[in-house]
Amino acid sequence: MQLERLVYASQPFGFESATLNAILFEARNLNAKNGVTGALICRADLYLQLLEGPAKALTATYGRILRDDRHVDVRELLREPTETRLFPDWAMLDDPARSWFWSQEEIDAGALDRASTDEILAAFARVAEGAAAEPA
């Protein structure tokens, strides 16, 4: 089975913990059923999410995200084939921006749009390293 990795960014619509918890609950349930794993780096002004799994499942998952009114300005940042998963044991890990390396001012100035694939994946690699010690 060919695996793919997809990363997108969006702005939360009315960021609050109850909304985030609902997103995570739904994502974990659907992802577990569809063979999708990944992580969500979140803060009040931005979601940055990595999804990994079979291409068809990623397309369906991303389609649901595009239709979800809890996300605004959804932008696909990368989609590529991958041999391995960064988050094999996580239907959806959430990281409350502990690993974040761009300030809000840098995001506002376009840092995310200028970021290379390596820079984007480095953020998730740090999340994966931190998650290795946590229970899934």
Predicted local confidence at residue 81, as pLDDT? 96
**What pLDDT, in 10s, does the model give residues 6-32?**
999 988 876 677 777 888 888 899 999
Domain positions in the chain are: 3-129
Q: Cα 123 vs. chain centroid, distance in angstroms?
A: 11
Asked if pLDDT for residue 97 goes beyond 70, the answer is: no
- Paired with 75 in beta bridges are 9
Interaxial angle between packed helices 17-34 and 55-67, expressed in degrees from 0 to 180 and rounded to the nearest 10: 150
Asked if pLDDT for residue 71 goes beyond 60, the answer is: yes
Asked if pLDDT for residue 36 goes beyond 60, the answer is: yes
According to DSSP, the β-strands at 46-54 and 93-95 are: unpaired
Asked if pLDDT for residue 38 goes beyond 70, the answer is: yes
Residue 39 near residue 48 (C-beta atoms within 8 A)? no
Structure-block tokens of residue 88: 């094999």
Predicted local confidence at residue 124, as pLDDT? 87
Q: Which CATH number fits domain 3-129: 3.30.70.100, 3.30.56.10, 1.10.10.10, 3.30.70.270?
A: 3.30.70.100
According to DSSP, the β-strands at 46-54 and 3-12 are: antiparallel
With 0.75 as the threshold, say if the pTM is over it.
yes
**What pLDDT, in 10s, does the model give residues 113-133?**
888 999 888 888 888 887 765
**In the chain, how long is the greatest CA-to-CA distance?**
41
